[in-house]
Amino acid sequence: MSGSLHPRELVDFCLARINQFDDRLRAWVLVDADGARREADRLGELARRGEWLGPLHGIPIGIKDIVDVRGWPTRAGSPLRGETPAAADAPVVRRLREAGAILLGKTVTTEFACFDPPPTRNPWDLNRTPGGSSSGSAAAVAMEMCMAAIGSQTGGSITRPASFCGVAGLKASHGAVLLAGVVPISPRLDHVGPIGRSALDLAAVWGAIADNREGDALLAAVLEMPLKLAVIESFFMETAADEVRRATREAIDLICGRGKGERFELPPSFADLATMHRRIMAYDAAAYHRAAFEQSPERFGPHVRGLIEFGLAITADQYAEAVAHQRRCRAEFAALLPPGRIAVTPATRTTAPTPETTGDPAFNSPWSYTGLPTVSIPCAVLTDGLPVSLQLIGGPQSEQQLLATAASGEPLLAFHNRPPLLT
């Protein structure tokens, strides 16, 4: 996000991309072209006078359509939400504005940020999914329709679409970005974070939106430590597709030297993690949607409906058991990732599948469950012509360490590929 372009030039470039490609990609549900141009002109005049609002001054950004933006409706991918404009900005949006960002519009989300497939298509292959639920955010960034976008993750909804679309994603520590003004699935699992073209782009947005910056004080000391990359073999490398596994190993060797990665052993609590993650997610989703669901269950998509029905059948004791397991898991994983140690996995099991699914979040949901931060960066294009990414996982509040590691690794990976539509 550097250079000397006038904000109006950047906005016009992004709007031209949207006009050229979005009828095929369907990444946006709302584009405020006039508002973006007016704001670009205002910010350009401020810059001319030597006044800068912050690190995102004049940068066009998309907002996932579960996040409130004053004056725009928050539809959350559902007809149930209606067209009533939001009365106020969500805190994350307010911070973007304060940092000088230009809000282009709302990007497509799957219904209530769950599993029902979106209309959005993958810019690398229009017959593939971009992933979900931050489908439009990842696709729009990949197609240069915006410089960055806000996504959210409860299972794998930042990391997976970023990987499928060949861009970078940051899922911060749980609670590091305020969730007020964001349509929830589960407050215990929900995260908000940026999708960008590089780790440096993620860092610029992160610097604007973060509420919890405890990790900053540790950054200088951490960067002086010998970095330890620890590969998670069990479950992750073992169950990844063969070509994904090979690409991941090659990328790790490029970053830290052949055969020098440590081995990361999963704690015993990992065995029940997926079950307990789904239990918490379903119970909380059912609590939020109960009234609307009891009145009109047929107005919910099949995957959301199934999640709510499952959640309504969970008892309070079963939920309490899952919450206790989550607390134990968080403590165990945090102990395994002290400052200076980063776990590495493939970001996804496969490349992007066909559009009737949003892909498998199994490699991402453990970090939503434990609340640990992750950064994903693209590392290769496989023989099917689709990108894959590395997923870096750190201890609590280690976002800066992860971003610094990703930024130093990107030149070694030399991923400069662009979607075929742009070449």
| Cα atoms in the 13 Å half-sphere on the side-chain side of 223 | 15
Q: Using CA atoms, how far apart are residues 147 and 49, in angstroms rounded to an integer? A: 24
The sign one gets for the Cα dihedral 376, 363, 152, 324 is negative
Q: Exposure of 170 by Cβ count < 10 A (0-12 exposed, 13-18 middle, 19+ buried)?
A: buried
Give the SS3 label for residue 253: helix
Q: Which of 78, 106, 133, 368 is catalytic?
A: 133
Q: Which of 78, 134, 152, 157 is catalytic?
A: 157
Q: Which of 64, 137, 365, 398 is catalytic?
A: 64
Show the DSSP H helices in 99-241 as ranges.
135-142, 159-164, 199-209, 216-224, 238-239
The kind and range of the H/E element at 282 are: helix 273-295
First CA to last CA distance, the chain: 21
Verify whether residue 135 is a known catalytic residue.
no
Is residue 217 within 8 Å of residue 197, measured between CB atoms? no
Verify whether residue 64 is a known catalytic residue.
yes
Is residue 104 within 8 Å of residue 31, measured between CB atoms? yes
Is the backbone peptide bond immediately before 376 cis, with ω within 30 degrees of 0?
no
Verify whether residue 173 is a known catalytic residue.
no
Q: Using CA atoms, how far apart are residues 232 and 242, in angstroms rounded to an integer? A: 15
Q: Exposure of 420 by Cβ count < 10 A (0-12 exposed, 13-18 middle, 19+ buried)?
A: exposed
- How far lies 201's CA from each of 8, 102, 159, 407, 412, in Å? 19, 15, 15, 10, 17
The kind and range of the H/E element at 336 are: helix 316-336
Which active-site residues does the annotation give? 64, 133, 157
